[in-house]
Amino acid sequence: MGKLDFAPIADTTRRAEIVVLLRRAILTGQLEPGQKLNELRIAEQMRVSRAPLREAMRELVQEGILTSIPYAGTFVIDVTAKDIDDAYSLNKVLDEFAIELTWRLRDRRFFDELDRRHDAVKQATRDLDTTRQIEMALQLHGLIHEWADNSVLLETWQRLASRLQMYFALHQRARKEPVPAEDIHETYVRLLKGSDMRAAQRHAREHIGLDFEELLAYARSLESKGARADRPGLPRERPGEA
pLDDT tens-digit series, residues 17-49 = 999 899 888 887 788 888 999 999 999 999 888
Q: Quick check: 147 and 141 in contact, CB under 8 A?
A: no
Between strands 73-76 and 66-69, the pairing is antiparallel
Amino acid 202 reads R
Q: Quick check: 29 and 20 in contact, CB under 8 A?
A: no
Positions in the chain short of pLDDT 70 = 1-2, 9-14, 177-182, 226-242
Amino acid 97 reads F
Measured distance CA(3)–CA(78) in Å, rounded = 20
Which pLDDT belongs to residue 214? 81
Could you tell me the domains of the chain? Answer: 1-77+228-242 (1.10.10.10), 81-210 (1.20.120.530)
Which has the closest alpha carbon to 50: 59, 36, 60, 40? 40
Which pLDDT belongs to residue 239? 40
Specify the pTM: 0.78
Measured distance CA(33)–CA(234) in Å, rounded = 12
pLDDT in tens, 118-148: 999 999 999 988 888 889 999 999 999 999 9
Which pLDDT belongs to residue 226? 61
Query: What is the average pLDDT score of the chain?
Result: 86
